[in-house]
C-alpha cells in the first residue's frame, strides 16, 4: 500500500506551497511557524480555522485565507507561468538562492524571469536614492561594471536613479545582474524600467516573491529590500538621504550579517560610515581587492584580511578593510 506522501508526490507538494505562499499574510516567517506546528503543507491546508488561529500571530483573516486556498488555481498558475517562461523556485528547489535560504523570513517562493545561476551566490548589492546626482549615477555604473567584469553578480531594485545605473553598468560590462521587484512579474509592463527589465532577464534575472499579478505597495517595497540584501554578500550604498529604501536595505544587511559599505558624500551614506561601514572611495577604489573581499565573504563570517570596527544593527558585526 502506498503511503499518503507517495500518492501525493513532489508535484503536489509544490502546488501546495504555491497555494500557501501566494496568500496575503503568509510570508516566510509565518509559514515556518505553521510548519513547526502542523508538520507539513498538507496538514496546514487540512487544519480547521480554530487550529490555525491557535498558531502564534495567525489572525482570523490569515486563517480564513488558508482555509480558502485553491490548489487547482495554484496548479493552473504554475502551468501558465511555465508557458510564459517564468521560473518558480521554492524553498525545496536546488536552484533557490543559497543566500536567502538561511534567512528566518526567506520567501517561500521566488518567481523569476531569466535565469538564476549558482554563481549568483557571489553577489554585491549596489543601491541608492532615486534623487541621485550625475556623479552618483556615474559612480554606481562604473563600480557595478568593474565588479561584474570580475565575476561579481550585481543586485539592485530596478528603481530609477542609482539602481538603474547599477543594473546598466553591469549589463554594459557583459556581466550578470539581478533585479528584485516590490510587485509581481506580470506588472512589469507598466514599470518605468520595463525595457531595462527585459534586458536584465536576458543577462541575469528579474525576481519577485509576490504573486505575479501583485501591485506594488509600500510594504512590498520594504520586503523587497530584505531580499536585495539577502541575495548579496556585500551591500554598497552609493548615495542616500537619511531615510528611504537604501537605508532600509542597509539595516537589513546588518540584521542578516552582510557586509555594509558606502561611498561618502551624502547624509545617509555618511551616517552609515560613522556607524562603522566600509568606506569606498570612487574612482580611487582598488576594485581587484574589493572583488576578492566579496568572493571571500560568507554571511555571518568575517573574511580574511578584514578587521572589526564596530556594530550596526542588533547582534551584527560590521567590518571595514584597511585595504580599501
Whether the model clears a pTM of 0.75, i.e. scores above it, the answer is yes
Q: Which residues contact 320 (CB under 8 A, 6 or more apart)?
A: 276, 277, 278, 279, 306, 307, 309
Residue 311 has pLDDT above 50, yes or no: no
The pLDDT value given to residue 233: 96
CA–CA distance, 276 with 279 (Å, rounded to integer): 9
SS3 144: helix
Q: What is the pLDDT of residue 10?
A: 59
| SS3 label, residue 95 | coil
Q: CA–CA separation, 98 vs 133, rounded Å?
A: 34
For the chain, list the domains and their CATH numbers. 4-83 (1.10.150.20), 114-320 (3.40.50.450)
**pLDDT tens digit sequence for 126-169:** 999 999 999 999 999 999 999 999 999 999 999 999 999 999 99
Average pLDDT, the chain: 88
Nine cell digits for residue 98 = 543559497
C-alpha cell at 16: 501546495
Three-class secondary structure assignment of 68-124: CCCHHHHHHHHHHHHHCCEEEEECCCCCCCHHHHCCCCCCCEEEEEECCCHHHHCEE
Over the range 171-201, which residues count as b (16 or more CB within 10 Å of their CB) and which as e? bebebbbbbbbbbbbbbbeebebeebbebbb
* Each residue's pLDDT tens digit, 285-301: 999 999 999 999 864 44
Amino acid at each position: 500500500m502506498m503511503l499518503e506522501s507517495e500518492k501525493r508526490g513532489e508535484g503536489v507538494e509544490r502546488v501546495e506551497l504555491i497555494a500557501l505562499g501566494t496568500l496575503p499574510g503568509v510570508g516566510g516567517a509565518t509559514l515556518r511557524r505553521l510548519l513547526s506546528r502542523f508538520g507539513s503543507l498538507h496538514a496546514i491546508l487540512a487544519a480547521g480555522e480554530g487550529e490555525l488561529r491557535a498558531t502564534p500571530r495567525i489572525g482570523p483573516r490569515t486563517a480564513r485565507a488558508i482555509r480558502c486556498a485553491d490548489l487547482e488555481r495554484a496548479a493552473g498558475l504554475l502551468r501558465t507561468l511555465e508557458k510564459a517562461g517564468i521560473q518558480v523556485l521554492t524553498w525545496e528547489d536546488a536552484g533557490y538562492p543559497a543566500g536567502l535560504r538561511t534567512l528566518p523570513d526567506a520567501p517561500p517562493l521566488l518567481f523569476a524571469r531569466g535565469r538564476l545561476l549558482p554563481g549568483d551566490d557571489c553577489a554585491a548589492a549596489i543601491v541608492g536614492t532615486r534623487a541621485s546626482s550625475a556623479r552618483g549615477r556615474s559612480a554606481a555604473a562604473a563600480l557595478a561594471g568593474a565588479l561584474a567584469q570580475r565575476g561579481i553578480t550585481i543586485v539592485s531594485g530596478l528603481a530609477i536613479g542609482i539602481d538603474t545605473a547599477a543594473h546598466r553598468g553591469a549589463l554594459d560590462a557583459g556581466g550578470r545582474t539581478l533585479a528584485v521587484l516590490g510587485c509581481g512579474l506580470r506588472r512589469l509592463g507598466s514599470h518605468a524600467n520595463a525595457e531595462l527589465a527585459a534586458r536584465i532577464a536576458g543577462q541575469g534575472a528579474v525576481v519577485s516573491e509576490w504573486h505575479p499579478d501583485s501591485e506594488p505597495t509600500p510594504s512590498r517595497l520594504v520586503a523587497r529590500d530584505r531580499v536585495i540584501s539577502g541575495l548579496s554578500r556585500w551591500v554598497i550604498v552609493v548615495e542616500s538621504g537619511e531615510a528611504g529604501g537604501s537605508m532600509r536595505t542597509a539595516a537589513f544587511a546588518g540584521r542578516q550579517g552582510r557586509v555594509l559599505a558606502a561611498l561618502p558624500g551624502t547624509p545617509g551614506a555618511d551616517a552609515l560610515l560613522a556607524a562603522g561601514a566600509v568606506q569606498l572611495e570612487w574612482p580611487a577604489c582598488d576594485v581587484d581587492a574589493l572583488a576578492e573581499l566579496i568572493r571571500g565573504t560568507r554571511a555571518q563570517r568575517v573574511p580574511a584580511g578584514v578587521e572589526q570596527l564596530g556594530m550596526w544593527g542588533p547582534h551584527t558585526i560590521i567590518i571595514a578593510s584597511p585595504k580599501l
